[in-house]
A and B are shown apart, each in its own frame.
Chain A
Amino acid sequence: MMTSTSLVYLIALPLAGSAILLLAGRRSDKWGHLLATALSASSFVVGLYQLSLMLGRSTGERPITQKLFEWISVGSFKIDASLMLDQLSICFVLLITGVGTLIHIYSISYMSHDPDRRRFFAFLNLFIAAMLLLVLGDSYLNLYVGWEGVGLASYLLIGFWNQKPAYATASKKAFVMNRVGDMGLSFAIMIAFATMGTVSFSGVKEAVDHTSTAALTGIGIMLLVAATGKSAQFPLQAWLGDAMAGPTPVSALIHAATMVTAGVYLITRSNFIFDAAPTAQLLVVIVGAITLMFGALIGTAKDDIKKALAASTMSQIGYMILGAGLGPVGYAFAIMHLLTHGFFKAGMFLGAGSVMHGMNDEVNMRKYGALRKFMPITFATFGLGYLAILGVPPFAGFYSKDMIIETAFNSGGAKGIILGCVTLLGAGITAFYMTRVMILTFTGKSRWDDEAHPHESPWLMWLPMAILAIGSLTSGYLLSHGDALVNWLSPLFENHAEHAELLSPLVVSGLALAMVAIGIAIAFVKYSRNEVAAVAPTDVSIFTTIARQDLLQDRFNEAVFMQPGQVLTAVLVKTDEAVIDGAVRGVGRIALGSGSALRGVQTGFVRSYAALILIGAVALVAAIWVVTQ
Chain B
Amino acid sequence: MTFTAPVLNYTLLSPILILLGGALLGVLVEAFVSKAMRAVTQLSLTVGTLVLSLAQVWRIHNEVSMSAAMGSVIIDGPAVLLQASILIISIISVFLIADTDHFTALAAALPGSEEERHSLETGNQVTEVYPLTLFAISGMMLFPIASDLITLFVALEMLSLPLYLMAGLSRRRRLASQEAALKYFLLGAFSSAFFLFGMAYLYGYSASVTYAGIRESVVGGSGNDVLLLVGMAFLTIGLLFKVGAVPFHAWSPDVYQGAPTPITGFMAAATKVAAFGAMLRIYYTVFANAQWSWSPLLSFIAIVTMLFGSLVAIAQRDVKRMLAYSSIAHAGFLLAGVIALNKAGLEASIFYLFAYGVATVGAFAVVTLVRDSSGEVTDLNRWKGLGKRSPWVAVSFAGFLLAFAGIPLTSGFIGKFSIFSAAYESGAKGVVIAGVLSSAIAAFFYIRVIVLMFFTDATQDGTSVQLPSFLTRATLVISIVVTLVLGVYPAPLLNLISHFSTFIR
Contacts and interface: CB of A to CB of B under 8 A. Distances in A.
Q: Do A and B come from one complex?
A: yes
B187 interface: yes
A628 B224 contact: yes
B254 A613 contact: no
Given A599-B312, A616-B247, 20 more contacts: A588-B444, A591-B314, A592-B314, A592-B315, A595-B315, A604-B254, A606-B186, A609-B187, A609-B251, A610-B186, A610-B187, A612-B250, A613-B241, A616-B248, A620-B236, A621-B230, A621-B233, A627-B229, A627-B293, A628-B224
B404 interface: no
Range, interface on chain B: 20 to 34
A592 B444 CA distance: 10
A43 B80 CA distance: 89
A624 interface: yes
A418 interface: no
B194 to A, nearest CB: 6
Nearest to B247: A616
The 5 closest A-B pairs by CB, nearest first: A609-B250, A595-B315, A595-B314, A616-B247, A595-B311
A536 B312 CA distance: 76
Interface string B244-255: 000110110110
9 contacts: A591-B444, A598-B315, A602-B253, A606-B187, A608-B250, A609-B187, A609-B250, A621-B233, A628-B229
Interface of B: 182-183, 186-187, 190-191, 194, 224-226, 229-230, 233-234, 236-237, 241, 247-248, 250-251, 253-254, 293, 297, 308, 311-316, 441, 444
Given A592-B314, A592-B315, A606-B183, A623 B297 contact: yes
A291 B82 CA distance: 89
A624 B237 contact: no
Contact of A612 (B182, B225, B229, B247): B247
A538 interface: no
Interface residues of A, number: 26
A620 B224 contact: no
Given A598-B308, A613-B241, A624 B229 contact: yes
Classify the interface of chain B: helix, strand, loop or mixed: helix
A587 to B, nearest CB: 10
Contacts of A606: 182-183, 186-187
Given A591-B441, A613-B190, A620 B241 contact: no
A598 B241 CA distance: 19
Contact of A613 (B183, B250, B253, B293): B250
Interface in A441-488: none
Classify the interface of chain A: helix, strand, loop or mixed: helix
B388 to A, nearest CB: 27
B253 A620 contact: no
A610 B441 contact: no
Given A595-B314, A602-B250, A624 B230 contact: yes
Contacts of B250: 601-602, 608-609, 612-613
Interface in A571-614: 588, 591-592, 594-596, 598-599, 601-602, 604, 606, 608-610, 612-613
A617 interface: yes
A621 B187 CA distance: 19
Interface string A58-82: 0000000000000000000000000
A385 to B, nearest CB: 70
A597 to B, nearest CB: 9
A166 interface: no
Contacts of A628: 224-226, 229
B314 A617 contact: no
A591 B311 contact: yes
Contacts of A613: 187, 190-191, 194, 237, 241, 247-248, 250
Contacts of A601: 250
A596 B237 CA distance: 26
Contacts of B194: 613, 617
A616 B182 CA distance: 21
Contacts of A608: 250
B504 to A, nearest CB: 30
Max chain B Cβ within 10 angstroms of own Cβ: one of A592, A595, A610: A595
A506 to B, nearest CB: 86
B256 to A, nearest CB: 12
Contacts of A602: 250, 253-254, 312
Nearest to B233: A620
A595 B237 CA distance: 24
A591 B247 CA distance: 19
B305 to A, nearest CB: 11
Nearest to B293: A627
Contacts of A546: none
A613 B226 CA distance: 21
Contacts of A214: none
A591 B313 CA distance: 10
Nearest to B190: A610
B416 to A, nearest CB: 19
B198 to A, nearest CB: 10
Contacts of B251: 609
A475 B200 CA distance: 117
A599 to B, nearest CB: 5
A617 B231 CA distance: 11
Contacts of B226: 624, 628
B299 to A, nearest CB: 12
B224 A595 contact: no
A615 interface: yes
Contacts of B237: 613, 616-617, 620
A62 B226 CA distance: 102
B197 to A, nearest CB: 9
A616 B247 CA distance: 6
A615 B230 contact: no
Contacts of B186: 606, 610
B31 to A, nearest CB: 35
A598 B187 contact: no
Contacts of A624: 226, 229-230, 233
Nearest to B301: A616
A2 B479 CA distance: 78
A598 B307 CA distance: 11
Max chain A Cβ within 10 angstroms of own Cβ: one of B230, B236, B250, B312: B250
Nearest to B185: A606
Given A609-B250, A613-B190, A613-B191, A594 B233 contact: no
Contacts of A588: 444
A591 B309 CA distance: 12
B193 to A, nearest CB: 10
Contact of A615 (B247, B254, B313): B247
A586 to B, nearest CB: 14
A617 B441 CA distance: 28
A627 B294 CA distance: 11
A623 to B, nearest CB: 6
B328 to A, nearest CB: 11
A447 to B, nearest CB: 70
Contacts of B233: 617, 620-621, 624
Contacts of A604: 254
Contacts of B247: 612-613, 615-616
Contact of B297 (A592, A615, A620): A620
A624 B231 CA distance: 11
